Chains A and B, each alone.
Chain A
Amino acid sequence: MHDQTGLKRRLRGAGVAFAAAALLFAPDSRAAGSFARIAGELDAASFRDLLVRQKGSVVLVNFWATWCVPCREEYPDLVRLQRELAPRGFRIVGVSTDFGSQRGAVEKFLGAMKPGFPNYWKKSGNEQAFIESVDRDWGGELPFSVLYARDGTRVKSLSGNHTYAHYRREILEALNGKR
């Protein structure tokens, strides 16, 4: 009886440990948990710092908003590209340009999308300085994506929404590039 109870206890303990380990190390569930929330606010300076921290990976920064229909339409393709190409050294960083009053809508969207990549919030104010720190030719239209090479240099800006195949082609070109 004592032995059986001990065995049950040990099995239960092992089960709990296994479940905890699975939760800790399963990449999808962990990503869904951590990236379903806003990662932080960005202004021109912190955007530059963020890019510096990404060096070594090909990065696509995608600017979006919950009210922007084409942004919402292409977002699942970005989620798919992140999952597919992350093992090759590719990362996506999302930046929501929604107003502060839309925080609930942004978190609801991220919760539904489970993007698997971090999403920041463009800090309110000084829009011109921010957009020019991203790309001097950008006028704030959405969606807007910028592709960076491994060395951090800007490869290309992609205005408007694009197909999965178009993004994939551009990303693979950057991944295969020398920079």
Chain B
Amino acid sequence: MRRWKTLLLALTGAVALSSVSSALSIGAPAPAFSLTTLDGKPLALADALKSHKAVVVLFVATRCPYSNAYNVRMKQMAEAYEKQGVLFVGINSNSSEPEAEAREHARKHGHTFPIVKDPNNKIADLYDAKRTPEAFVVTPDGTLRYHGRIDDNSEDEAKVTSPDLKNALDALLAGRPIQSAETKAFGCTIKRV
């Protein structure tokens, strides 16, 4: 009897572990979150989805060269797509990057889209985000529609051959299916607590 109990506990543990570590799949409900932005405004994903055609949940960093290589592209995309009803939300989950540093980084790079600090990497855990930059696109029905990289060349925008996030957003806005709904995010590891 004890052996069966042990086995049952072991199996339960394994299932719980796999459900925590499995990546969020396309079409799954995007986890809700509610935090305060770096400039002190409340931000809830549910509210943002009510007033936008899509929300881009973008995991960013201040010290990661891959994320920093996208600073200009992030700003340009956030501004361009805001006009089309898409909200970019930056999430800084790195325990190594304090809030004041994230605020200064946003100011320096002209990132006017909302950015939140993610204490104890709770949002990163909910989304199973691993890297910076890593993008998740959520539609008003609360489902995940795209997950992955911004594009295929962090170093040189001129050499980008596959602007995956842009393609996904353009497809969503045009009511077309997303051709590549999942790509591999390439970047620095999120520095978790």
Residues of A whose CB lies within 8 Å of any CB of B are: 65, 67, 99-100, 124-128, 131-132, 139-142, 160
Contact = CB atoms under 8 A, between A and B. Distances in A.
Interface residues of B, number: 20
A126 B151 CA distance: 10
A125 B156 CA distance: 8
Contact of A128 (B130, B156, B159, B186): B186
A77 B63 CA distance: 25
B70 interface: no
A139 B130 contact: yes
A124 B155 CA distance: 7
Q: Is the contact region of chain B dominated by helix, strand, or loop, or is it mixed? A: loop
Contacts of A132: 184
B66 interface: yes
Contact of A99 (B69, B152, B186, B188): B69
A39 B177 CA distance: 45
B183 A128 contact: yes
A139 B131 contact: yes
A128 B187 contact: no
Contacts of B187: 139-141
Given A125-B155, A131-B184, 8 more contacts: A99-B69, A124-B159, A126-B152, A127-B152, A128-B183, A139-B186, A140-B187, A141-B131
16 contacts: A67-B65, A124-B159, A125-B153, A126-B152, A127-B152, A127-B153, A127-B186, A131-B184, A139-B130, A139-B186, A139-B189, A140-B131, A140-B185, A140-B187, A141-B189, A160-B189
Interface string B163-193: 0000000000000000000011111110000
